Structure 1
Amino acid sequence: MDKIFGIYGDALALRSQRLNMLASNIANAATPHFKARDLDFDKAIASVLDGTPLNDSVASNSRYRVPLQPAMDGNTVELSTEQTLFAENAVQYRSTLSFLEGRLGTLRRAMKGE
């Protein structure tokens, strides 16, 4: 399957993991002492390309976000930042998914002999 989908399958999985992290940050924007986290996608995908398993790559490339203005209650979520990053990652996720859908369509046509 790696030969068919290349790095895009792993990229989609990493984008999904990042969406979950960012969604968790947004959901916990009012939770005292919650620490916002993010995934360094570029480092994570490079790690996967070097042979690191996906889950290990996510764990080793996840970082706590340093806020510009920490909240008095210790929460480090800056809602506007999280929403912007979520939207950007969602677009990138959708682009990767569209590429994979196109690849699958090509494979279907090839299998049918079209």
Structure 2
Amino acid sequence: MTISFDKAFGIHQYTIGVRSQRAEVLAGNIANADTPGYKAQDLDFSSALSQAQGLQSGTTELMRTNNQHLAGASAMSGTLKYRVPLQADTGDGNTVDLQQERSAFLENGLEYQTSLEFLNSKINGLLKALKGDQV
């Protein structure tokens, strides 16, 4: 009998990577809160999750200026979107709302931790089953 990790772990095995990417985007927004002209971005979670599961081919080929350059692809390009600002422009063109970014970063961190704990409990259950431990 084989073990299907897709059935055992569910969607949580994919959410870890997407939450990690979103944390990078949100951290970039926070780091650029005082950069004139910076536009806040966020990850479209459902689209990114579909890409992580392999349901979409969301990679975009990177432009090569020379045939000797290595081909590359960006996996996050289709899911990265600009955030609609909640406040009026302050005059410098920056759309980062620091409180909103911190809140989104904290929420993302909690959801990341939840997925890790869920995966940990599933792995522990599989280990018990493999070792034959009594419950």
Give TM class, smaller chain. 0.7 to 0.9
Q: Is the 8 A contact 2:58 2:78 kept in 1?
A: no
Partner of 2:41: 37
More helix by share: 1
The answer to whether the aligner puts 1:2 opposite 2:18 as a matched pair is no
Aligned residue pairs total 114
Which residues of structure 2 form unaligned runs of 5+?
60-73
Partner of 1:62: 80
Q: How far, CA to CA, are the matches of 2:89 and 2:124 in structure 1?
A: 48
Q: Is the 8 A contact 1:48 1:57 kept in 2?
A: no
| SS of the residue 1:15 aligns to | helix
Deviations 1:39-63 (A, max 9, x none): 1213332454561257666321211
What is the letter of the counterpart of residue 95 of structure 2?
Answer: T
Q: TM-score under structure 2 normalisation? A: 0.73
What is the letter of the counterpart of residue 87 of structure 1?
Answer: L
Q: How far, CA to CA, are the matches of 1:107 and 1:53 in structure 2?
A: 31
| SS of the residue 1:63 aligns to | strand
Q: How far, CA to CA, are the matches of 1:57 and 1:47 in structure 2?
A: 8
| Counterpart selection for 1:106 from 107, 125, 129 | 125
Structure-2 change in CA distance of 1:57 and 1:3 (3 Å): farther
Q: How far, CA to CA, are the matches of 1:63 and 1:70 in structure 2?
A: 19
Structure-2 change in CA distance of 1:31 and 1:39 (3 Å): same
What is the letter of the counterpart of residue 2 of structure 1?
Answer: D
Structure-2 change in CA distance of 1:4 and 1:54 (3 Å): farther
What RMSD, in angstroms, separates the aligned Cα atoms of the two structures?
2.1
> Which protein shows a greater Rg?
2
| SS of the residue 1:60 aligns to | coil
Give the Å deviation of 1:104.
1.0
The answer to whether the aligner puts 1:88 opposite 2:102 as a matched pair is no
Q: Is the 8 A contact 1:48 1:54 kept in 2?
A: no
What is the letter of the counterpart of residue 101 of structure 2?
Answer: E
Which residues of structure 1 form unaligned runs of 5+?
none
What is the letter of the counterpart of residue 70 of structure 1?
Answer: D
Give the Å deviation of 1:103.
0.8
